[in-house]
């Protein structure tokens, strides 16, 4: 633990003072790359945590919402952690995803249109396309691809930023719940508490990252799919409906498999909690186990617990493999059915139509077949994780005696110390007297010329004494003793 004697002030994150252009093209990251090119990066090169990512304000915000939800319990309504998260981040997240869905759909759907005009120019009869229009079509294909790539990465960063805020807020709420948990009541609060909390803060909290990344496809897929089907219908007519119907027939199967995946996720979490609880008990009782030579018996018990956990993980892996296999096969069969149907209706097939249909199906595969099942799966897994966190937050608490653990005072001094390991495995420290004086914590207890007297337990006639005691206790550490 950092005692606070070697505190250094980290640099401000350059993104905080970067302009819109720098944020859009990530130009603010150039200095860290230049520094990494000159030498090896170390822990001291990390930037200071941005105000929006700090655990205290994130936890305060969701703590107030969760407290309001708990008050509804007296009125007969069930408290919901999901409702608290949606009330804080839901509106901004939904509006951002809708705007991105419309922009991304427009850009992706414009590329096949430009591609059709460019291919018509290279047809034997030139298709009546002037040279100027051909250059514009070529510029459109390249330009729209660049625009699609340009807006994708800032959007992904924004989604990950939102996911991190939700994860930090929930972890802060779990930590505060842990401070006032009643350990005298049976259940998870008294059995395997450490393993259960670690599982919530690691495995369950990480589900928010993947859910936020793929949740945009729940908004984008209906928009893009409807427009693509309409545009393909204008190209090849009724033959579009045959191929698209084949793709849509697998959506109920994918939804059913996603539901099974969420159940397997819950089973995996339960068995992981059980294995971690067993490991904690073994570690705490290792002396008795070694003394009575019970290593083989307990190794067998832990092995069985791990085997049960791996059985569920294998089922999840096989389920993912089946879903991916369906994804790779469905689109190819749908393209074949559409083209064969179009020819069987007596229509003439051209190169422009083939390339355009392939482009539309490629977009449809990207949204409807590739990412929609993953979006459903990761969303359901995140929902299961939220339910597990909610169960922990609803465990009995001790009487707080008026102490508010929901809100943390932002005026509490933060010690920004860094322990840095150098190449030989040792630790190098940087001492800053100015920082120590600036961040000197307030004094809690101070004693000067203090004396103590007590009777000796071995000899009742002797009286022991201790005099001239001087010491000061700060908020974080003893800073002076004499």
- In tens digits, the chain (482 residues) has pLDDT values of 344 434 567 788 888 888 888 888 888 888 888 888 888 888 778 888 888 888 888 888 888 888 888 887 767 778 888 888 999 998 898 898 888 888 888 888 888 888 888 888 887 765 677 888 888 989 998 999 888 888 888 888 999 999 999 999 999 999 888 888 877 654 444 556 777 788 888 888 888 888 888 888 887 888 888 888 888 888 888 888 888 888 878 777 777 777 787 788 778 878 887 888 888 888 888 888 888 888 888 888 888 888 888 888 888 888 877 777 776 677 778 888 888 888 888 887 777 788 888 888 888 877 777 787 788 888 888 888 898 888 888 888 776 555 555 555 444 444 444 444 444 444 444 443 444 444 445 566 777 777 776 666 555 556 667 777 777 766 544 444 44
Q: List, in order of start, the domains of the chain with CATH numbers.
A: 53-393 (1.20.1560.10), 441-482 (no CATH)
Enclosing H/E stretch for 179:
helix 131-179
pTM strictly above 0.75: no
Residue 275 CA from chain centroid, whole number = 24
Q: Scan for tokens 């199906």, then name that residue.
A: 361
* Tokens read off for 213: 């990344």
Cβ neighbour number for residue 450 with a 10 Å cutoff? 12
Task: Give the CA dihedral 91, 93, 99, 103, nearest 10 degrees.
Answer: -170
Number of H helices, E strands in the chain: 16, 5
* Tokens read off for 477: 């550490």
Q: Residue 31, exposed/middle/buried by CB under 10 A (0-12, 13-18, 19+)?
A: exposed
Buried b (16+ CB within 10 A) or exposed e, 352-380: bbeebbebbbebbbbbbbbbbbbbbbbbb
* Tokens read off for 251: 């959506």
Cβ neighbour number for residue 46 with a 10 Å cutoff? 13
Q: 155 Cβ partners below 8 Å, 6+ apart?
A: 96, 100, 216
* Tokens read off for 241: 């409906």
Contacts 24+ apart (CB under 8 A), 176-185: 176/59, 176/63, 176/405, 176/406, 177/392, 177/393, 177/395, 177/397, 179/405, 180/397, 180/398, 180/400, 180/405, 181/395, 181/396, 181/397, 181/398, 182/395, 182/396, 182/397, 182/398, 185/395, 185/396
Q: Which residues pair with 480 in a beta bridge?
A: 472
Question: With DSSP H G I counted as helix, E B as strand and the rest as coil, what are the percentages for the chain, rounded to 5?
Answer: 70, 10, 25
* Angle between helix 216-236 and helix 207-214 axes, rounded to 10 deg: 30
Q: How far apart are CA 271 and CA 300, in angstroms?
A: 16
């Amino acid at each position: 633990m950092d005692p606070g004697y070697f505190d250094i002030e980290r640099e401000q994150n350059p993104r905080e003072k970067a302009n819109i252009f720098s944020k859009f093209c990530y130009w603010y990251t150039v200095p860290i790359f230049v520094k990494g090119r000159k030498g090896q990066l170390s822990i001291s090169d990390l930037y200071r945590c941005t105000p929006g990512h700090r655990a205290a304000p994130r936890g305060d915000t969701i703590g107030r919402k969760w407290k309001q939800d708990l008050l509804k319990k007296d009125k007969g309504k069930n408290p919901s952690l999901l409702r608290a998260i949606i009330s804080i981040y839901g509106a901004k997240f939904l509006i951002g995803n809708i705007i991105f869905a419309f922009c991304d759909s427009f850009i992706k759907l414009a590329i096949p249109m430009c591609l059709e005009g460019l291919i018509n120019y290279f047809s034997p009869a030139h298709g009546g396309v002037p040279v100027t229009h051909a250059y514009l079509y070529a510029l459109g294909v390249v330009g729209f691809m660049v625009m699609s790539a340009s807006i994708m990465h800032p959007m992904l960063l924004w989604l990950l930023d939102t996911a991190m805020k939700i994860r930090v807020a929930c972890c802060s709420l779990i930590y505060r719940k842990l401070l006032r948990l009643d350990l005298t009541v049976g259940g998870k609060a008294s059995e395997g508490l450490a393993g259960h909390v670690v599982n919530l803060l690691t495995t369950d909290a990480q589900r928010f990252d993947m859910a936020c990344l793929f949740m945009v496809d729940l908004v984008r897929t209906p928009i893009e799919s409807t427009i693509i089907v309409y545009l393909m219908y204008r190209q090849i007519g009724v033959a579009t409906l045959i191929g698209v119907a084949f793709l849509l027939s697998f959506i109920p199967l994918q939804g059913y498999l996603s539901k099974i995946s969420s159940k397997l996720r819950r089973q995996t979490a339960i068995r992981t909690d059980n294995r971690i609880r067993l490991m904690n008990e073994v570690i705490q009782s290792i002396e008795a186990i070694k003394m009575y030579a019970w290593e083989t018996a307990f190794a067998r018990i832990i092995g069985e617990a791990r085997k049960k956990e791996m059985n569920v993980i294998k089922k999840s892996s096989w389920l993912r493999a089946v879903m991916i296999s369906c994804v790779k096969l469905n689109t190819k069969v749908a393209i074949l059915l559409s083209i064969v149907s179009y020819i069987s209706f007596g229509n003439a097939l051209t190169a422009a139509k083939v390339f355009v249909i392939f482009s539309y199906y490629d977009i449809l595969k990207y949204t409807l077949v590739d990412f929609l099942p993953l979006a459903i799966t990761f969303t359901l897994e995140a929902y299961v994780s939220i339910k597990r966190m909610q169960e922990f937050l609803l465990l009995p608490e001790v009487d707080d005696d008026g102490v508010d653990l929901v809100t943390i005072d932002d005026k509490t001094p933060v010690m920004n110390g860094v322990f840095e390991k150098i190449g030989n495995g040792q630790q190098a420290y940087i001492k800053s007297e100015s920082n120590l004086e600036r961040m000197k914590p307030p004094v809690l207890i101070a004693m000067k010329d203090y004396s103590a007297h007590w009777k000796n337990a071995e000899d009742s006639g002797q009286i022991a004494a201790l005099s001239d005691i001087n010491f000061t206790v700060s908020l974080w550490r003893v800073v002076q003793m004499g």
